[in-house]
């Protein structure tokens, strides 16, 4: 319960920080809350195992490097690094998420629109987004 709250507030602060033209303080708070909330949700050991797997070293370095760059005061570069690392870390989850969203009545029909369908099909079927 605490972990979900921390993660939710982290996502809120990250979104709000980007909406306010990459405010350094809000992005830093959002990063800290998101990572600590993730540790509370899945546990410290699983968090370390998830981030520090050999095949996820590149993704982890981009994500945590982006967090560090935001904390030292370069928010735009840091957020770009974080987003790239996030997509690399969670690319195996995207096909599952797309399959779930396609089953939701309104969102499924939106994903079936001609321009969106090709993009969603590429994301949903591919494990290599790089």
Band (99; pLDDT cuts 50, 70, 90): confident
Q: Please tell me which residue, 37 or 119, carries the higher pLDDT value.
A: 37
pLDDT at 128 over 70: no
Q: What is the pLDDT of residues 9-24, one digit of tens each?
A: 999 999 999 999 999 9
Between CA 95 and CA 102, with CA 99 as vertex, the angle to 5 degrees is 135
Q: Is the pLDDT of residue 97 over 90?
A: no
Q: Are 98 and 123 spatial neighbours (Cβ–Cβ below 8 Å)?
A: yes
Q: Given a cut of 90, is residue 125 above it in pLDDT? A: no
Residues 69, 34: Cα–Cα separation, whole Å: 16
* Mean pLDDT over the full length of the chain: 90
């Amino acid at each position: 319960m605490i972990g979900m709250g921390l993660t939710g507030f982290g996502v809120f602060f990250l979104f709000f920080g980007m909406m306010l033209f990459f405010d350094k303080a809000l992005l830093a708070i959002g990063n800290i809350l998101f990572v600590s909330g993730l540790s509370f949700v899945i546990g410290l050991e699983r968090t370390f195992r998830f981030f520090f797997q050999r095949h996820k070293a590149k993704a982890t370095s981009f994500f945590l490097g982006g967090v560090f760059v935001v904390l030292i005061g370069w928010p735009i570069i840091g957020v770009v690094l974080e987003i790239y690392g996030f997509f690399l870390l969670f690319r195996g989850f995207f096909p599952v998420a797309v399959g779930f969203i396609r089953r939701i009545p309104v969102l499924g029909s939106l994903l079936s629109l001609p321009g969106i369908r090709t993009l969603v099909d590429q994301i949903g079927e591919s494990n290599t987004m790089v």
